[in-house]
Structure 1
Amino acid sequence: MATLNAKVNDRGQTPLHIAVAKGHVHIVENLVVLMPKKDLEILDDSGMTAMALALGDIRMLEFMHKKNQKLLTIRDPTNRIPLLVALEAGNIKAADHLCKVTPKEDLIRDAKDHSDSSLITALILWNKLDLALDLLRCGRDITTFPDRNGHIPLYALACRPSAFPSGWQLVFWKKWIYALRGWLPYRLMSNLHKLLGVRHMKKLHAISRQLLELTCKQMDSMNEFDLQAGTRFSDAIFQATREGVVEIVREILKAEPSLVEKKDEKSRTIFSFAVLCRQARIWNLLNHELSIMSSRKDQLLFGPADGSGNTILHMAATVDTSTQLLHNKSAAFQMQRELQWFKEIEAISTFPWMSEARNFENMRPKEIFTRDHKEMLKEGEKWMKDTATSCMVVGTLIVTIMFAVAFAVPGGNNQETGFPMFSKHKLFKLFIIADALSLFSSTTSVVMFLGILTSHYAEEDFLKSLPQKMIIGLLALFFSITTMMMAFCVALLIMFFGKSQMVIPIMYFSSLPIHLFVFMQFPLLVDMIKSTYQPSMFDRKMKI
C-alpha cells in the first residue's frame, strides 16, 4: 500500500495522478479502491489533486468523490474548487455533475471561509441561476463578497441581460404570448409557452428576479462606509447601465437612491454613461430619480459629464466601445439612431451654450459627432445606394412591362374600330385600373429611389429625408408588384372565362412573388417606419 501514495515522477505525481492524466479509467477505479481515503487528497508539485485532473471524465470523478467527499472543496493553486474550475473551463457536463454531488453546505462554508463569491458569479454567468439562488439564500452575506476579479454577484447578474425581460428583443406576437395572463385555458397557455420557448424564458426571469431582490436587500443593512468601500454596488449599477438591464438599475436605486450620484473611474455619472451607451430606458429611469432630487438635477444633468471636460451633449456625439449598436441592423439605421440621440439631448438642454461648449480637446459636440461618425456615414451611404439600386431595377422593369401591357391588352384590338376586343367585358375595366395603378406606383418608386441615389448624403439626410424616400419607394414598389399580379390574374380570367379549373391554380401561384417580397422586404420597411416615426425615446413620466 505504501507505494500507492508515493510520488513517482519529477512532477511529484502519484500513480493515481498518472493514471488519471493518461485516461485509464479501469486503473483509476482499482487504485481508488485500494488507496486509503486520505491519500486521495495528495497534491502533486503543482498543487493539484488527482481529481482536479479528472474533470474531463465523469466516471473518474465519481470514483474519487464517492470515496472522499472532501475532494469536492479542495482548492487548486489558483484558489478554485473543482466546480469552479469546470465552470470557468466551460466543461458543462462536469459542472452539471459536480453541481449535483457537491453538498450546498460545503459550498457555502467554503465561500464564507475564503470570503469569496467566485463560485456564485460563475454559476450566474453560466446560467446556473437556480443553484446560485439556493446558495445565496443559505448564505446571504456571500452577496457582499467580491469574486476573484473583485466583483460581487450582482455585477455578474448585470453581465447577463438575457436573464431579464429588458434584455430580450421579442417579436410582437411573442411579447403578446409572454404577457398573457389568466384568460386563456391553462393547458393551452402551457402548450404555447412550451412550444415557443416562453416557459424557459419566464422561469429564467423569475429566478433572476429573486436573485436581484435578495442581493439588493443586503444594501438595507449596510452603513455608508460599507456601501462605498466594501460592496462595489456602484460597479454593478454601471454594468447594468451598459447592458441596459433596467430591472437591476431600478432595484439598486430603490435600495440606495444616492447611488445615482456615483461616478466611475473616468468621473462619468450614471446619467452621462447611459447617454454614452445609448440606453434610453435607463435614461428615463434615472431622469425620474433625479426629478425627486430637484436641487441637484441641473448639476447632475448638465454639469461636467466626465473628467475630460465633456458635457452630456458631447456624450451623445461620441461613438465609444460602450455605445450600444443596433444588432442586425444596417449602418443607415445606426446613423439615424445616433442622430436621434444627438437631437434629443440637444433639445432637452436648458443651456444654450452647451452646443458650443468645448472639451479638453477643444472640440464642440457637433465636431465630435462628425469625427466619430465618419465611417458610419460612409457605410450608411453604401447601404442606401445598394438597396436603392436593387429596388430601382425591379421598379424600372415593372414600369416597362406595365406600359407595354397597356397597349397590348388581352385578346388584342378590333381591326375595324381599333378598340380592345374585350372592352365590353365586365372585368376589362378592372384590368385597366390594375395596370394603371401598377404603372403609376412603380414610376413613383423609381423616382424615390432615384432621389436616394442623387442625394448629397449629409449627416442630416439620414434623420428624415433618406428614410422617408426609402419608405415611400418600398411601399410604392410593393403596391406596384401587387397590382401587376392583379392585372395578370384579371387578364387570365378575361381570356379563359369559364375555365376556372385551369385559371385558379395559376392565380394561386401568381401570389408567390408578393409573398416573397413581403418575406424579404417587409421587415425592413416596418423597421424603417418604426425608426423614423417613433415617438420620443425619452419618457420623463416613467415610474420606478
Structure 2
Amino acid sequence: MRMDTKKQIKMECSSSSNPGNPYPYPYPSHVTMKLSGEDTYDVWKTQMLCLFKSHDMLSFIQQNPLREYNYDLWERSEALVKGWILGSLSNETLKYLVNSFPNKDFTAKDAWDKLQTVYGPPVRAVQKLYAAILVQNYWDVKAILKGRIVTLRDRITINGNTALHMAVGMSNNKIFLRRMLNLASEDNQQALDMRNSEGSTLLHVAAIVGNTEAAKILIRRHSCHYMLFEKDNDGQTPLEIAVSNMQTDTSIYLFDHYSVTPDLENGEMFDGTQIVVNTISSKDYDLAYKMRRFIKDPDIVLMAIAQNFPPEVPDFADVLRNTLQAYKNAKLLVHFTCDLIRTSTTMYTTYTNVLFEATRQDAVEVVKEIVSRLPNAIGTINEDGHDIIQLAVINHSSKVYRLLYRMSKLKITNTTIEFPFKNNLLHLAARLAPENKIKHAYGPALQMQLELQWFKEVERFVSPLNVNQKNSFGETPQMVFTNEHKKLRIEGEKWLKETAQSYTIIAALITTIMFAAAITVPGGNKQDSGIPMFTNVNNFTLFAILDGISFVTSATSLIMFLSILTDRFYEQDFLFILPLKLAIGVYSLHKASEELKASEDQQLPKILLCTKDKDKDFRGLSSVKDCS
C-alpha cells in the first residue's frame, strides 16, 4: 500500500498539473557547459534538457504548471529548476538575465524562454522573419518558415509573440494577413491558438491595435468565434481590450458578434456595467449607447457620463512637431559600427546598453538601426525597471518615442502597464524633463509650454482610463505634473511679466508717436477748405497709410502685453494662450517699428522736399505731384 502511494505521488509530481518532485533536495546540477552566448547555447540546452528529463522536471520549462497539488512542494521544485538554470550561466549572461526582469520573482520558465529568445539557434532566422513581417513581405516569410528553423508556433519576441501575433499587430494589409493566417492551417492549426506572455490571443492583439481586418479574417474565414470569449492574464476579453484602447471600429465589430450569443445577454462573459463605463471613459459614446441594455448599476454609469461628458465645442488637436532626419554620414557610421559588433558574443549586452543611451539622447537613427538588427532589444529592461519606450518618455525623447509608437505592438504593452509605485506611462511623462532637454526652449515660459506639449502628446496615446489613475501615493498624472513644475511655473510667470513690462514701454512710445503724427498734418491745411495741403501727393498718401498701420500694430502690441501683465497665469495657460499673446505682441511691435521707420525715414523727407516746390509752383500742384 505504501509503495502504491509513492508511485502515485511520483506520477502526479511528473505531470504538468501537479509538478512536485520526490527526489532529495538540494540535488546538484551535472551541467558542465556555462551559457555565455550563441556559440554555447546548443550544448548547454542539450545538457539542461537531459537534467530536467532525468528528474521529471520538463513541465517547469515547457508550460506554466498549476500549483493546486502542494504549494510547498511546487515552490521547492520551482526553486530547484530555477537554481539549475541560473547556476549554469556565465557571470555576464546571469547579470543580463536578472536585469531583464523588473520583478526578480520570475519563474524558471520565464528564464528559459528569455534565454531561448536571446541565444537560441533561430536568432538569425527570427530576425529575418521579424524584418519580413515588418515590411509585409509574404514570400520571404514563407521561405523562412519553409527552412523549418523557425515555425509559426515559435515565440519570436521577448513578450512571447509569435509571427502571427506580430503580423496581426503590425499590418492592416488584407492580402498579407489572409496569407499569413492561411499559413497556420498549412503549418498547424495550433498556431492560431498560441498566446503570448500576457495571455493574449490573436484576437486580443487585433483588438488592442484596432486591426478590424484581422478580426474579420479570424472570425469569418478561420471560424475563431471561440476567441471572442477567451480571456488574457488580466481576465479581459477582446471586446474589453478594444474598448479600453479606444478602438471604436474594432469594438463595434466585436460587439456585433458578441451580441448574438446568449452568454452576453445573460451578462456571464463580463461585468456589463464596467465595460459600459470603460466605453464612456474611452469617449466611445456610440458603442456605449448600443450596450445600454447591459447596464446593471446606472449610478456608476451616470457618474462616468458626468465625468466624461463631451464639450459643446471640441478642443483643438495638439500639433506634433516634425521629426528631424539625422545626418547622412552619421547614419552610415552607425551602420558600419553595428557591422563590426555583429559577430561579437556580447552583441546583445552591447546593443542594449547603446540602445538605452541612444534613447536618452533621442538619437532616433541609432535606435532605428539597432531595432532593425535586434528586434527583441525593444523589450529589454534597465536597472531601474524601465524599458525603451518608458525611458523615452522619462527623458522626453520625442523622436524615439514616435518611432517606437509607430510599431503597433508597443501600444499593446506600454500604455496601460503599471510600473513601480503604480505609475503609468502618463505619470512618467509628468516628470520634469532632464536639464539638457528643457534648455532647448528659451525662457521659463516657453520651457513650461514645451513640458505641457510633451505631457499632452503622451496623453493622446494612452488609454483615457490612465489619465485619472492614481499611483501608490494617491496622485494622478496631472497632480504629479503640477507638483513637479510648480517652480518652473512661477519662474515662467516672472519671466513673462518682466518681458511684457519691457515691451510695453516701447509699444506705448511708438503708439504715442504715430498718434501724434496722424493728427499733425505735414504741410498744414488749406485755409479756405481745411483740406491737407498735400492731399494729392503720392508720398503723403503713402505716409498716411504707413502711419495708420504702425499705429494699429503698436496699439495691438500694447494690448497684448497689458493682457499678459493682468493674466492669472494658470498652468494650462502656458500651453497656448500666454505664448500666443507673447508672439502676437512681439510680432505687432516689430511690424509697428518697421512701418514707423518707413514712414519717417523714407516718405516724410520727400514730403518736406515737396514743400519747397510748393512755393515755386502752387498752381494745380503740377510740380508737387511729381515728388514721388
Which of these two proteins has the greater Rg computed from alpha carbons?
2
**TM-score in terms of structure 2 length:** 0.43
